[in-house]
Amino acid sequence: MITICGSEKRGFKQGKCFGETRFNAIGSCCADPINPGSYYVGDLSSIRYCTPDQVYLVAGSSSEGFADGIGAAARFDSVHGLVCSRDNTVLWVADMFNERIRSVDLNTKLVTTIAGDGEMKSTDGVGLNCSVYFPRRLTFDRSRTVKSESVLFITSGRGLRRFDIASSEMTTCQWKRAGDTGTGTSTSTAGPAPASNLYGIDAVRSGHLIVGCVHTHSVYLYDPNTTEHELLAGGGSVQAQAEPFADGPGQIARFNRMVGLVVVDSERCAFIADAGHNRIRRMTLPAYLFSTAQPALN
C-alpha cells in the first residue's frame, strides 16, 4: 500500500500529486477507462481528475452548495458516488446531501441535475420529479436485457433505485427472496430484504448486483431481472450495533459499515471497504456468476 496523491493536510488545492494537492473529505473515486493510471475523485464539494503526476479540477469548489453550471461554477454537497462512461465522456454523480443525481460532460465540464428534487424522501418519477433519499453509490446495469450503459442502479438511504438514462425514469427496485413461491413461503435462507441504508454496490459480468447494507451489516446478491436476492455474507438481520469482526464463510463473517465494494471479474471476488472494522475485506463470489456472462444489447 502506497500513497499516490494528496497528504494528511486537508484543503482544496490542485497541483502536483505530491506536495501541492489537498483534499477535503474524499467520498468516492472511479478509474478513467481510457487512460491507465488516471482516475476521478469525488471530494466533499468537488470532482478532481488525477493523472500520475498532476491533479486538475473538473467541477465544483471548496464550498458546499447546490448549483448546475460549468466547472467551478457548479456546486456539490458530498460527492459520494461516481461512475464513468466507457468512452470517458460522461460522469454520473451521486450528490448525497443534495439528494440528487448529477451528470458531468467531461468535454465541456457542464454539470446538470438529471434526477431528484432535493427533498428528503424517496419517490418514483421522471427526472426532477422524483426524490432520491441520500444517494450513495452507483453502477451500470450489466445484464444482457438492456443496452450497454443505459441504466444505473443507485444505493440510497431507502433502498435500491433504478434510473433509466434515456427516459430519466427513476423507480424503486423490489426485493423478493430466492425461491419465494408467492404464498409467503420460501426455500431460501436469504432473510428479509434490506429495505434501507444500502451503501456499496457493483455489478458482476453476469448482470447480478452485489449490494452491501449497513443496516444489517451484510452483503447480498441481487438479480435485477427476477428481483430475487440471496444473502452472501453477514448475519442478515437488523442489529442495533455491529457484531465483533470475524472472517469466515458466508454467514459466519461479520462486518461493520461497508461503505464501498468493487467486483474484480478476473479474480471472481469482491473487495469490501469495512469502515467500522478499519479493514479491506476480500470475498470470493459464486463461480456461476462468471460462467453465465452475456453481452449487453447494442
Structural domain boundaries of the chain? 1-115, 121-298
Euclidean distance between CA atoms 251 and 254, whole angstroms: 8
User: DSSP readout, the chain?
Assistant: ----S--SSB--B-EETTTT-BBS---EEEE-SSSTT-EEEE-SSEEEEE-SSEEEEEEE-SS---B-EEGGG-B-S-EEEEEE-TTS-EEEEEETTTTEEEEEETTTTEEEEEE--S-SS-B-EEGGGSB-SS---EEE--STTSBTT-EEEEEETTEEEEEETTTTEEEEPP-EETTB-SSS-BS----S---S-EEEEEE-TTS-EEEEETTTTEEEEE-TTT-EEEEEES--S--SSPPPPB--SGGG-B-S-EEEEEEEGGGTEEEEEETTTTEEEEEEPPGGGGTS--PPB-
> Architecture of 121-298 per CATH?
Beta Barrel (2.40)
pLDDT at 110: 98
What kind of fold does domain 1-115 have according to CATH?
Thrombin, subunit H (2.40.10)
Give the largest CA-CA distance in the chain: 62
Do domains 1-115 and 121-298 share one topology? The answer is: yes
Q: Give the up-direction half-sphere exposure of residue 293: CA atoms within 13 A in the CB hemisphere.
A: 11
Q: Which amino acid is at 294?
A: Q
pLDDT at 258: 87
Q: Are 142 and 149 in contact (CB under 8 A)?
A: no
Beta-sheet strand order (sheet of 269-274): 258-264, 269-274, 279-284
Q: Which residues of the chain have pLDDT under 50?
A: 181-188, 295-298
Question: pTM above 0.85?
Answer: yes
Euclidean distance between CA atoms 115 and 100, whole angstroms: 6
pLDDT digits (tens, 9 = 90+) for 198-229: 999 999 988 999 999 988 899 999 999 899 99
Backbone angles phi, psi at 156, to 5 degrees: -150, 175
Q: Which amino acid is at 155?
A: T
Grid look-up 454523480 returns 93
pLDDT at 257: 86
pLDDT at 18: 85
pLDDT at 200: 94
Euclidean distance between CA atoms 236 and 233, whole angstroms: 8
Grid look-up 455474507 returns 233
pLDDT at 189: 52
Question: CB neighbours of 125 closer than 8 A, spacing ≥ 6?
Answer: 131, 169, 170
| Region for 183 from its dihedrals, namely left if φ exceeds 0, alpha if ψ lies in -120 to 50, beta otherwise | alpha
pLDDT at 168: 97
Q: Are 284 and 269 in contact (CB under 8 A)?
A: yes
